[in-house]
């Protein structure tokens, strides 16, 4: 059976797990193996998602599970994104998570963010939880690489207020480096921006996605979707398997100047 959730379209035989480790062919159906499995949870500032034009100054209950459809060599969350954590997670139902989010309103919480690993590989849990969250007046956020198909995005889009989507470069090579697909991400961004608040994040890695020409093309394309989309240019540091030295600040600043020719807000992160 083919999984249609992301660009990989894994062909899975009975009992076989997908590339992302979050989905499986079980009894002839492809299901989210990580449904309701929470590996990490925190009450985070909205700016940490990062979202700077969506309820600035507020807090949001942020949860992650396990699994990812990409293989970024610099992944900061590889302990949860690149492994199967079944049996090591806390199990919650959508209702229990919404109840927790409501409880935390007292501490400044305004909703639920699905983040840390790649949440779209378990989109069913996002959909079921976000539906209930909206009934309680909570805000909903998804932080994703945007490598899911439009039909998967449509399953959650009616219930999501804001997205931060990674745009990991603007060339096929930049996406080969992380094991993703640029066209899928562009389609995802353009479709999400029709209905929800969208901000984008590019982690700038020296020699991989720091060319001024590519930044020019990227910013132009983002502006064609909307010049109001906020672009976060984030500084890379060596992590996980990647040993390239950190991004010089001067590189970030010159890319920011290029992007600002087309976009109203370009923010530097991790500096
Ligand atoms: S979501 Fe997972 S199982 Fe489905 S196609 Fe993508 S990597 Fe494969």
Q: What is the pLDDT of residues 53-70, one digit of tens each?
A: 999 999 999 999 999 999
What average pLDDT does the structure give for the chain?
97
Ligand 1: atom nearest CA of 121 is 1
Give the ligand 1 atom nearest the CA of 23: 3
pLDDT score of 84 more than 90: no
Q: Is the pLDDT of residue 186 over 90?
A: yes
**pLDDT for res 233:** 98
Q: How far apart are CA 1 and CA 15, in angstroms?
A: 11
Residue nearest to atom 3 of ligand 1 (CA): 18
pLDDT at residue 46, as a whole number: 98
117-131: burial string, b at 16+ Cβ within 10 Å, e else: bbbbbbbbbbbbbbe
Atom of ligand 1 minimally distant from the CA of 18: 3
Our mutation pick for probing the ligand 1 site, out of 4, 15, 22, 23, counting the most ligand atoms within 8 A of Cβ, is: 23
Question: Higher-confidence residue: 82 or 185?
Answer: 185
**Model pLDDT, residue 82:** 86
Q: Is 21 in the pocket of ligand 1 (CB under 6 A)?
A: no
**Which runs of E-coded beta strand occur in the chain?**
23-26, 29-32, 37-38, 40-45, 59-64, 90-91, 109-114, 139-144, 162-166, 197-204, 230-235, 266-269
Instruction: Residue 8: name the closest of 171, 208, 145 by CA.
Output: 145
Q: What is the pLDDT of residues 26-62, one digit of tens each?
A: 999 999 999 999 999 999 999 999 999 999 999 999 9
Cis previous bond, 50, omega within 30: yes
- Is the Cβ atom of 19 under 6 angstroms away from ligand 1? yes
- Asked if residues 262 and 219 have their Cβ atoms less than 8 Å apart, the reply is yes
Per-residue model confidence as pLDDT tens digits over 85-132: 888 899 999 999 999 999 999 999 999 999 999 999 999 999 999 999
Token pair recorded at residue 37: 């499995």
Sign (positive or negative) of CA dihedral 46, 47, 52, 58: positive
Reply yes or no on whether the pLDDT at 175 is more than 90: yes
Q: Which atom of ligand 1 is nearest to the CA of 69?
A: 7
CB-based burial label for 233 (10 Å; 0-12, 13-18, 19+):
buried
Quick one: what percent of the chain has pLDDT higher than 70? 100
Q: Ligand 1 in contact with 68 (CB < 6 A)?
A: no
68-82, 204-218, 243-257: which range is least confident on average?
A: 68-82
Residue ID of nearest Cα to ligand 1 atom 6: 6
Give the Å distance between the CA of 109 and the centre of ligand 1.
32
Q: Ligand 1 within 6 A of 258 CB?
A: no
Q: Does residue 6 line the site of ligand 1, with CB under 6 A?
A: yes
pTM for this model (two decimals): 0.97
Provide the percentage of residues in the chain whose pLDDT is more than 90. 95
148 lines ligand 1 (CB under 6 A): no
Q: Could you tell me the pLDDT band of residue 267, with boundaries at 50, 70 and 90?
A: very high
User: Does residue 189's CB lie within 6 angstroms of at least one atom of ligand 1?
Assistant: no
Q: What angle do CA 197, 199, 200 make, to 5 degrees?
A: 145
């Amino acid at each position: 059976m083919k999984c249609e959730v992301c660009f990989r379209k894994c062909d899975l035989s009975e009992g076989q797990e997908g590339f992302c480790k979050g989905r499986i062919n079980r009894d002839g159906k492809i299901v989210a193996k990580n449904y309701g499995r929470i590996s990490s949870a925190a009450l985070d500032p909205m700016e940490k998602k990062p979202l700077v034009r969506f309820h600035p100054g507020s807090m949001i209950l942020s949860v992650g599970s396990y699994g990812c459809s990409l293989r970024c060599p610099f992944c900061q969350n590889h302990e949860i994104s690149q492994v199967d954590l079944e049996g090591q997670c806390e199990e919650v139902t959508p209702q229990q998570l919404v109840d927790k989010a409501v409880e935390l309103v007292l501490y400044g919480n305004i909703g639920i963010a699905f983040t840390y690993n790649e949440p779209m590989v378990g989109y069913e849990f996002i959909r079921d939880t976000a539906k209930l969250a909206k009934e309680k007046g909570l805000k909903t956020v998804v932080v994703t690489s945007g490598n899911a198909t439009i039909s998967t995005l449509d399953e959650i889009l009616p219930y999501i207020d804001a997205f931060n989507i990674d745009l990991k470069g603007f060339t096929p090579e930049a996406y080969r480096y992380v094991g993703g697909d640029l066209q899928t991400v562009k389609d995802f961004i353009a479709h999400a921006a029709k209905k929800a608040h969208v901000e984008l994040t590019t982690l700038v890695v020296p020699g991989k996605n720091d060319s001024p020409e590519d930044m020019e093309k990227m910013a132009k394309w983002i502006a064609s979707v909307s010049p109001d989309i906020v672009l976060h240019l984030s500084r890379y540091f060596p992590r996980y398997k990647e040993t390239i030295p950190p991004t010089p600040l001067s590189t970030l600043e010159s890319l920011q100047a290029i992007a600002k020719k087309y976009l109203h807000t370009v923010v530097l992160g991790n500096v």
